Amino acid sequence: MQSARLTSRLVQLGGFLNELQTQYHRRNLLDSDPLEYVYHYSNPWDQEVVALVAALLAYGNVKQVRKSVSDVLARIGRVAESPSEMIRNLQGLGGRKSPYSKQVSREFETFVHRFNRGPDFVVLFHLISESWIRSGSVGGHFLQNLEPEGNISEALSLLIADWRSWVKDMGPKSAAKSFQYLLTSPADGSSCKRWCMLLRWMGRKDELDPGLWCQGSGLSGTFPDGRSLRASQLILPLDTHTGRISQYLGLTQRKTLDWKAALEITQNLSVCDPQDPTRYDFSLSRLGILDVCKRKYRVEICTHCQLLTHCKFALKSHQKSKKKKTK
């Protein structure tokens, strides 16, 4: 239960976050994000595949991430007319040993992105393909377990559990340690930043987020019992940037940026906007990605930052430097 003082502080913070959003939540900043690649395609099945690839590659330096997404899409382009055609041609788990699967494997043999290798992505493509066969789309698979009133936690854990068990059935080579890095789960306590980011893209619809798993999207015919993902069910994608700034703003007391911290921050952001707490994610992460916030108090930057009056870090650093000067 939040104290009235905390609630009133968060409501105030919401006003400043809205200003931050006005500055950074913009389509013209998509060139600093892997989400941009989703808009290179208009077919929703292509977009679902590209969103999964782009989100799961989103770790490390953003320039390298974008380069790797572009590389994966170029390789897909050499084996199929479109990402969705490749996924259909793979024919789920049953097509693992088909000549087409071997062709895709050869194409991806030399791909590397930090901890992940090409074969990890071939396994991922087969999982997507199997979900399409069983549920019509990965969104359809995910939504089977989404409680209408709950957050994404359980449905995400169950999707990952299904995929982990399918990978086990595919044999030990498929379940390589590097592949496991793609399948993080709330059940393990991980913040699941890349999955939460994917879900933000899927569960929000505005000038930035495509809302592919929202009501009325091009994939909605595959969703069970008319279900869909709502913005109020999302959890903030917690990475080094959003985590650090959330700590500066007192949105979490936790030092470890894990699933519990992501839940705590999202719950606090819900006071600012109960229907759409993750709408601040893109703006908060731009402060770090665009190197605006320097991890130190810089008068020329911090005095123009919308978050200054709530930034404990800047206020503390400012007081320290003032003390030093007066000594």
The binding site for ligand SF4 (CB under 6 A) comprises: 245, 248, 287, 293, 301-302, 305, 307-308, 311, 313-314
- State which residue, 228 or 268, has the beta carbon closest to ligand SF4: 268
Q: Which of 203, 219, 216, 227 is nearest to 277 (CA)?
A: 203
Closest to ligand SF4 by CB, 40 or 296: 296
Minimal distance, residue 309 CB to ligand SF4, in Å: 9
DSSP 228: -
User: Is the CB of 160 or the CB of 284 nearer to ligand SF4?
Assistant: 284
For residue 229, how many other CB atoms are within 10 A of its CB? 25
* Closest separation in Å from C-beta 66 to ligand SF4: 24
The DSSP 8-state label assigned to residue 210 in this structure reads B
**What burial letters (b/e) apply to 58-78, b meaning 16+ CB within 10 Å?**
bbeebeebbebbebbbebbee
Q: What is the DSSP letter of 95?
A: G
**What is the separation of C-alpha 52 from the centre of its chain, rounded to a whole number of angstroms?**
9
How far apart CA 195 and CA 237 sit, in angstroms, is 8
Nearer to ligand SF4 by Cβ, of 187 and 301: the residue is: 301
Q: How far is the CB of 273 from ligand SF4 (least distance, A)?
A: 19
**Beta carbon of residue 252, minimum distance to ligand SF4 (angstroms, whole number):** 15
Compare residues 66 and 241 and give the one whose CB is closer to ligand SF4.
Answer: 241
Residue 210, φ and ψ in degrees, nearest 5? -80, -15
Taking the least distance from each CB to ligand SF4, the nearer of 53 and 245 is 245
DSSP annotation of 112: E
Structure tokens belonging to residue 27: 């389509």
**Shortest reach from residue 12's CB to ligand SF4, in Å:** 15
C-alpha–C-alpha distance, residues 132 and 139, integer Å: 9
CA contacts within 13 A on the Cβ side of 286: 20
Q: How far is the CB of 241 from ligand SF4 (least distance, A)?
A: 10
